[in-house]
Amino acid sequence: MSAGIQQDIDLSPYNSFGVSARAAWFMALEEREDVELAREFAARHGLPMLVLGEGSNILFVKDFPGLVLQVANRGMALEDAEAVTVQAGENWHDFVTQCLKSGLYGLENLALIPGKAGAAPVQNIGAYGAELEQFLLSVEVCDLRTGQWQSLSREQCEFAYRSSLFKRAGLSAGRSGEAQWLIFSLTLSLSRQFTPNLSYGALAEVFSDKAEATPQAVFDAVCAIRRSKLPDPAELGNAGSFFKNPLISAERYHELQQQYPGIPAFAAEPGLVKVPAAWLLEQAGWKGKRRGQAGVHDKHALVLVNHGGASGEDIYLLAQDMSNSVLQRFGIALQPEVRIL
């Protein structure tokens, strides 16, 4: 057995839902050399590989029969006055905090998003009017199929709403979870001059006087808003928003307005509008619902929770019923934001 590779590991500490699942094999990756060892081991034994950070956007429905690679490299470094490289194994919120302390601005609206830095490009994380792609310069990756290392530009990452080249590759692998890309580091372009992003309604309400929107104040406000709406995974197992906000045609939206005059929407790409999935689910009566130990958060209908002892299948079946009810009532299909394995 290769050094550092463990057998039959419980994954409940490695996913924010806290559901029980086991990995046939497990390895923490701290150096480039670890990646090659993992590839050789998986090839020798014919194992699929799954890349895992903090497991804050994944639901294990079954055990994983292959090799789980946990990204564990650490560190951040300035490339120039306004460009910073962060290793994929760094906690994202800690990185945002450190940037703020270092006088590097731009990421304040993305504070308190759970997970590691390496997961940020996969999901093209976004919150409160900001998205990762606005700041990303490049991503250092390894193609696990070939072992080739390369630097991908923002354009090569093919970012879209809560999606990217990396996420689509993972989805195309289906439930096997077979990984193609391993993100090892990312380089971001930030700014020494602070310009507050108050495009999100809740932030604009907090800062009616723009002069009060200092970097620390915006950071603190974002953290407060998130804490008021989303449960701490350390206290109540969850993966944040379970579903994406659906995009529908403007024509379909106007039709729904006739039946549901209060239905909210946000501008999206031409001809499309984005409808809040939380509103749809709340109208369908899901907020605060519970089935055994699986449930829906009582403050946010978009957040599925593990009250303790729920299996991944329990949560998955609940999510399916929620999605089906929205489809039947509104004719809108919800797509999971959380990756399901």
Q: Are 157 and 123 in contact (CB under 8 A)?
A: no
- The DSSP secondary structure of 170-218, one letter per residue, reads HHHTGGG----EEEEEEEEE-BSS------SHHHHHHTSSGGG--HHHH
- The DSSP secondary structure of 210-244, one letter per residue, reads GGG--HHHHHHHHHHHHHHHS--TTTSEEEEE-BP
Which residues does residue 68 pair with via DSSP β-bridges, in sequence order?
26, 50
d(CA 51, CA 72): 11
Active site members? 162, 241, 337
Q: Which two tokens stand for residue 252?
A: 């379909």
Q: Are 58 and 40 in contact (CB under 8 A)?
A: no
d(CA 319, CA 208): 38
Residues near 203 by beta carbon (within 8 Å), at least 6 away in sequence: 109, 128, 129, 197, 218, 221, 222, 225
The single residue listed with the structure tokens 């990421």 is: 107
DSSP 105: B
Count CB atoms within 10 A of the CB of residue 280: 28
Count CB atoms within 10 A of the CB of residue 62: 14
